[in-house]
């Protein structure tokens, strides 16, 4: 450290900028070895350096200081954000600063580092050749010290954490203005000096900076248009490749839509290839190469049912990208191979390929030159009972040396059984074994522990059986019926099996929040845990600490647990400490103590209730009130409001409350379109003459006169025994009640003669809404005066089956609404099964203790 200090002193005396900055950097490094990563010490030393240093070295050190404070915040963010905000001067100790002061210091130091604009722009970056790292070939893009320091500041200014705690809009606007000035200084300088590449590079940085990334169509389109303009300006510079890459990325991420016959990915490839060819050694070309590699990457995925019934068609779904052919093969596996063979291991994979292939075929995706992911449905003819693996590859299966090779394999089983199991108390697992085709129970199925065939049980005539685990290593059971077998993974809840006793202390306080000067009463319970069971510990000595928000000890006391394992005590919260999350702590447990200055609010805000409905292209008028809790109005209070529609701010403004405490807001909504939606959010901030501020928000829904129809309970199945009552409510978009007429119509849905098998990709006939509909004579015509509607459906009015129910509402103001639903209706008697999912249906969805579940 003495040698570094000597170099530092000599460099400052001789005006050797590179040596001076390098000595500061080395001192920071060795300081880390001596004090650990204590950034607070480094910050204090940097402040001393800045006070003794002249320009331009001073600006460099101010930038280093800003970066160090920022790193301190990022490393200690959670602790800093728990500190209570304090008004006034709280000194220079950063370890006591609240979050707003820390972040404000980051901004101020960065802005101070680039304050001397003319001096820094006259200073060449070459003066730092001894300490700068990176590609020297691109130094001409940031040739001045101002370029370097300004870009360092912009990186942090763009971080949302920096403005997250700026609740004051003026602070946000001030920083935005400073950023605009920074970009203007950079662009004006390079334009004046004819450095087109540096100008275009700075302009691209500016465009990226102001792009928020909220994915709105307007923002993406504006960014795209700006890039198009910059593309023309940068064509004679290597920034041309960077702009082409940004455009390619927009197309690849679907941020803009192609108006050509080619799709977005094809255009992205063309732009990226152009970026590589134009300036092959540029950073934009490197980024474009990685983008091309990503778009052109091969991918293949195969999905198949885990269990399939014997001799029944097996559905397969291929998902591929950039694959021109899919070569498929099926291999049979032994039971041991199915359970333990790791096919991802290369040697095992090659051994498997040398086995006899049962079936092989080739499938060709619809398109391979569009770079998109494609789905292809396939089917395999039925197979006998057994274990199999399906392998897919973009080259013949025995070709394992091709560089552009992608493969996928999936294990599947063909079995005539379905097994369900559940964990039971006493280390017992219960099983039920069914036939997969008809759901009948299987009697005499053998259920044994894996690798221990002597320990087994047999299923009874109902397919039930239970097996007691012989050890904690029993993880899999094998169910065997004739030649058929299924491995069943056991679902178990794992308790704490540690045989050592683990101490634990539970702490409680008498309230959730405290003020400085109050007494905190606490109570603790001392426990020990062993094998998942807890017991109290008596006469146990416990050290209890009271810690402040910085984890420093305020007070400490010794306690002893009583005959019930508990202890109690209290601590006094001192005045003058930083408020926030304090802590009562013991060796084996702790509890938080939230300490805050509390000021009781004196007034409240409300929006005056209104039943007006808001339509497009019509002025929306809102009225609110500010009243004290004593009942008198808050007059002449400042009301700031913000109105947001969808992703965009529509309006902000300021009004004042009148003598009766009321305020009014009006705005003109835009016509409905896909970008904005139909909801507007109004946020209000009211500050009275004493400076107290209260907040209020409201959501307004706009419509074209449509009504909402909301049912009290969601039902897609109706079990009608004698009768069934259905209730619903008709309202406006803003939830106001409606009077008018309601009609309920029923349409019988005729199932197809033969349903196709429900596969991985559903056939349209498997959707009941696509079945042929026949209107039924039954119709309910109802009247409502308050929006509440109900009707009763009696058994026999509609035969069992699937129905479409159409509810139409017309208000007295001639507004309309419609709701359509598909239902399965069951009567009191058993009915035919129309879909595979109807083998078992639960009739009473909610069952009380002691009641039976009805199927």
Q: For the chain, what is the largest distance between any 2 Cα atoms, rounded to a whole number of angstroms?
A: 104
Residue 450 pLDDT level (bands cut at 50, 70, 90): confident
pLDDT at 183: 93
Position 854 in a domain = no
Q: Is residue 254 part of a domain?
A: yes
Residue 217 lies in a domain: no
476 confidence band (pLDDT: 50, 70, 90): confident
Write 584-587 long-range contacts (CB < 8 A, 24+).
Answer: 584/507, 584/509, 584/520, 584/522, 584/544, 584/545, 584/546, 584/547, 585/544, 585/545, 585/546, 585/547, 586/505, 586/507, 586/524, 586/542, 586/543, 586/544, 586/545, 587/503, 587/505, 587/542, 587/543
Say how many residues make up the chain: 855
Instruction: Flag whether pLDDT at 709 surpasses 90.
Output: no
- Region 559-585: mean pLDDT is 88
- Higher pLDDT residue, 26 or 354? 354
pLDDT at 715 over 80: no
By CB atoms closer than 10 A (0-12, 13-18, 19+), residue 829 is exposed
Task: Output the pLDDT for position 642.
Answer: 84
User: Is there a single domain that holds both residue 321 and residue 432?
Assistant: no
Report pLDDT for 335: 80
Note the pLDDT tens digit of each residue in 235-294. 999 999 999 999 999 999 888 887 777 888 999 999 999 999 999 999 999 999 999 999
- What pLDDT score does 532 carry? 55
Residues 35 and 143 in one domain: yes
Give residue-wise pLDDT tens across range 58-68: 888 899 889 88
> Which stretch of 69-73, 401-405, 478-482 has the lowest confidence by average pLDDT?
401-405
pLDDT tens-digit series, residues 43-91: 887 887 788 778 888 888 899 889 888 888 888 888 887 777 776 677 7
Residue 443's Cβ-count burial label (10 Å; 0-12, 13-18, 19+) is middle
Residues 809 and 775 in one domain: yes
Decide if pLDDT at 410 tops 80.
Answer: yes
CA distances from 372 to 249, 409, 434, 834 (A): 15, 22, 42, 38
- Picking from 250, 278, 295, the residue at the C-terminal end of a domain is 295
CATH number at residue 563: 2.60.40.1930
Quickly state the pLDDT bin for 631 (edges 50, 70, 90). Answer: confident
What is the average pLDDT across 122-127?
84
Report yes or no on 497 lying in a domain.
no
Three-state DSSP at 436 gives coil
- Of 835, 838, 826, the C-alpha closest to 796 is 826
Q: Provide CB contacts within 8 A for 124, sequence distance 6+.
A: 143, 144, 145
- Give the per-residue pLDDT at 33: 46
Three-class SS of residue 8? helix
> Bigger pLDDT: 223 or 762?
223
Does residue 225 sit within a domain? no
For residue 814, the tally of other CB atoms under 10 A from its CB is 8
pTM: 0.58
Last residue of a domain, one of 435, 463, 489: 489
Structure confidence at residue 760 (pLDDT): 44
pLDDT, one tens digit per residue, over 222-231 is 889 999 999 9
Q: Residue 762: pLDDT above 50?
A: no
Question: What average pLDDT does this structure show over 558-567?
Answer: 91
Looking at the chain, the whole-number percentage of residues with pLDDT higher than 70 is 80
Contact 210, 222 (CB under 8 A): no
- By C-alpha distance, which of 485, 491, 484, 499 is closest to 469? 491
Shared-domain flag, residues 644 and 765: no
- Out of 12-26, 459-473, 786-800, least confident range: 12-26
Band of residue 714 on the pLDDT scale cut at 50, 70, 90: low
Query: Quick one: pLDDT at residue 27?
Result: 64
Strands 614-615 and 693-703: parallel
pLDDT at position 682 over 60 = yes
* Residue 312 located in a structural domain: yes
Of residues 305 and 386, the one with the higher pLDDT is: 386
Pair (354, 389) in one structural domain: yes
Which structural domain, as residue segments, surrounds residue 355? 299-414
CB 259 within 8 A of CB 220: no
Q: Which of 24-33, 91-100, 510-519, 789-798 has the lowest mean pLDDT?
A: 24-33
Same domain, 566 and 522: yes
Q: Is the confidence at residue 36, as pLDDT, over 90?
A: no
- Rounded mean pLDDT of 770-778? 84
Q: What's the pLDDT at 566?
A: 92
Q: At which of 550, 568, 595 does a domain end? A: 595
Half-sphere exposure of 274 (CA within 13 A, CB side): 17
Band of residue 674 on the pLDDT scale cut at 50, 70, 90: very low
What's the confidence (pLDDT) of residue 21?
67
Structural domain includes residue 195: yes
| Secondary structure class of 682 (helix, strand, coil) | strand
DSSP assignments along 517-547, one per residue: TPEEEEEEEEEEEETTEEEE--S-EEEEEEE
Q: What is the pLDDT of residue 407?
A: 87
Same domain, 727 and 745: yes
More confident residue, 579 or 491: 579
Domains contained in the chain, number: 7
**669 and 690 belong to one structural domain:** yes
Mean pLDDT lowest among 238-247, 278-287, 598-607, 721-730: 598-607
495 within some domain: no
pLDDT tens, position by position, 144-188: 999 999 999 998 888 766 665 654 566 677 888 899 999 999 999
**Given this model, what pLDDT does residue 845 score?**
56
Question: Is the pLDDT reported for residue 23 higher than 80?
Answer: no
Residue 609 and residue 556 share a domain:
no
Claim to verify: residue 281 and residue 346 sit in the same structural domain: no
Q: Give the pLDDT band of residue 670 (cuts 50, 70, 90).
A: low
206 and 242 fall within a common domain: no
Nearest-angstrom CA–CA distance, 669 and 452? 74
Contact assessment for residue 380 and residue 347, using Cβ atoms and an 8 Å cutoff? no
- Give per-residue pLDDT as tens, 277-317: 999 999 999 999 999 999 999 999 998 876 788 888 888 88
Q: Cα torsion for 256, 257, 259, 260, to the nearest 10°?
A: 100
Same-domain check for residues 611 and 741: no
In angstroms, the CA 693 to CA 704 distance is 37
| Contact by Cβ (8 Å): 407, 391 | yes
| Confidence check: pLDDT of 132 > 80 | no
The pLDDT of residue 707 is 80
What pLDDT is recorded for position 583? Answer: 93
3-state SS assignment for residue 224: helix
Pick 733 or 497 by higher pLDDT.
733
Nearest to 109 by CA among 178, 13, 160: 178
What average pLDDT does the structure give for the chain? 81
């Amino acid at each position: 450290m003495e040698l570094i200090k000597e170099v530092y002193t000599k460099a400052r005396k001789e005006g050797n900028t590179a040596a001076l900055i390098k000595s500061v950097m080395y001192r920071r490094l060795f300081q880390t070895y001596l004090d650990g990563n204590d950034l607070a010490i480094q910050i204090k030393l940097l402040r001393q350096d800045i006070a003794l240093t002249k320009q331009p070295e001073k600006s460099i050190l101010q930038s280093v200081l800003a970066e160090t404070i920022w790193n301190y915040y990022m490393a200690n963010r959670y602790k800093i954000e728990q500190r209570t905000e304090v008004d006034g001067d709280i000194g220079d100790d950063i370890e006591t600063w609240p979050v707003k002061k820390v972040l404000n210091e980051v901004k101020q130091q960065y802005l101070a580092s680039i304050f001397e604009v003319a001096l820094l722009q006259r200073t060449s970056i070459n003066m730092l050749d001894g300490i700068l790292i990176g590609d020297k070939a691109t130094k001409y893009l940031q040739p001045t010290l101002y370029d370097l320091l300004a870009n360092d500041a912009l990186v942090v200014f763009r971080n949302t954490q920096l403005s997250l705690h700026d609740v004051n809009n003026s602070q946000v606007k001030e920083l935005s203005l400073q950023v605009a000035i920074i970009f203007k200084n950079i662009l004006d300088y390079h334009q004046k000096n004819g450095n087109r590449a540096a100008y275009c590079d700075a302009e691209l940085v500016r465009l990226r900076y102001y792009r928020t990334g909220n994915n709105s169509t307007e923002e993406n389109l504006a960014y795209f248009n700006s890039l198009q303009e910059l593309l023309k300006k940068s064509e004679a510079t290597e920034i041309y490749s960077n702009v082409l890459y940004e455009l390619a990325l927009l197309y690849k991420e679907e941020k803009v839509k192609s108006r050509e016959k080619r799709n977005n990915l094809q255009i992205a490839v063309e732009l990226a290839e152009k970026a590589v060819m134009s300036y092959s050694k540029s950073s934009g070309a490197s980024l474009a190469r990685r983008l091309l590699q990503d778009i052109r990457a091969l991918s293949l995925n195969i999905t198949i049912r885990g269990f399939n019934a014997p001799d029944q068609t097996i559905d397969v779904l291929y998902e591929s990208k950039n694959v021109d052919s899919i070569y498929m093969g099926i291999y049979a596996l032994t039971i041991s191979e199915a359970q333990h063979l790791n096919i991802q291991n290369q040697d095992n994979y090659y051994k498997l390929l040398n086995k006899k292939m049962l079936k092989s075929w080739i499938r060709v995706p619809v398109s391979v030159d569009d770079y998109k992911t494609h789905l292809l449905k396939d089917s395999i003819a039925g197979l006998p009972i057994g274990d199999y693996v399906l392998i897919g590859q973009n080259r013949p299966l025995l070709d394992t040396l091709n560089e552009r090779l992608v493969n996928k394999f999936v294990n599947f089983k063909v079995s005539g059984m379905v097994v369900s199991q559940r964990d039971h108390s006493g280390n017992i697992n219960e099983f039920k074994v069914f036939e997969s085709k008809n759901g009948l129970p299987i009697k005499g199925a053998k259920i044994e522990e894996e690798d221990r065939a002597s320990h087994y049980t047999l299923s009874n005539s109902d397919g039930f059986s239970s097996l007691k685990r012989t050890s904690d290593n029993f993880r899999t059971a094998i169910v065997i019926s004739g030649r058929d077998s299924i491995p069943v993974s056991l679902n178990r809840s794992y308790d704490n099996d540690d045989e050592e006793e683990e101490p634990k202390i539970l702490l409680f306080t008498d309230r959730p929040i405290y003020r400085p000067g109050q007494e905190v009463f606490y109570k603790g319970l001392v426990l020990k845990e062993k094998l998942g069971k807890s017991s109290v510990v008596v006469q146990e000595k416990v050290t209890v600490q009271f810690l402040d928000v910085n984890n420093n000890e305020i007070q400490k006391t010794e306690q002893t647990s009583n005959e019930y394992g508990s202890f109690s005590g209290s601590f006094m919260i001192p005045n003058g400490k930083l408020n926030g999350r304090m802590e009562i702590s013991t060796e084996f447990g702790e509890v938080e103590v939230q300490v805050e200055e509390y000021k009781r609010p004196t007034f409240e805000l409300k929006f005056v209730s209104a039943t007006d409905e808001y339509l497009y292209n019509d002025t929306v008028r809102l009225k609110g009130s500010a009243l004290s809790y004593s009942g008198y109005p808050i007059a002449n209070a400042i009301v700031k409001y913000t109105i947001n529609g969808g992703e965009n701010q529509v309006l902000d403004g300021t009004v004042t409350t009148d003598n009766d405490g009321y305020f009014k807001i009006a705005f003109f909504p835009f016509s409905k379109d896909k970008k904005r939606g139909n909801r507007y959010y109004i946020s209000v901030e009211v500050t009275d003459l004493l400076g107290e501020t209260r907040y209020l928000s409201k959501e307004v829904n706009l419509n074209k006169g449509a009504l909402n129809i909301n049912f009290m309970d969601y039902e897609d199945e109706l079990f009608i025994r004698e009768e069934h009552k259905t209730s619903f409510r008709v309202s406006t978009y803003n939830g106001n009640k409606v009077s008018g007429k309601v009609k309920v119509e029923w349409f019988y849905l005729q199932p197809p003669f033969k349903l196709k098998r429900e596969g991985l990709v559903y056939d349209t006939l498997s959707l009941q809404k696509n079945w042929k509909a026949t209107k039924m004579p039954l119709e309910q015509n109802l009247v409502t005066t308050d929006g509440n509607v109900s009707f009763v459906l009696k058994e026999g009015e509609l035969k069992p089956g699937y129905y479409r129910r159409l509810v139409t509402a017309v208000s007295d103001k001639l507004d309309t609404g419609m709701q359509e639903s598909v239902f399965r209706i069951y009567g009191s008697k058993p009915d035919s099964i129309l879909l595979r999912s109807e083998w078992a249906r639960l009739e009473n969805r909610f069952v009380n203790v002691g009641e039976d579940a009805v199927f």
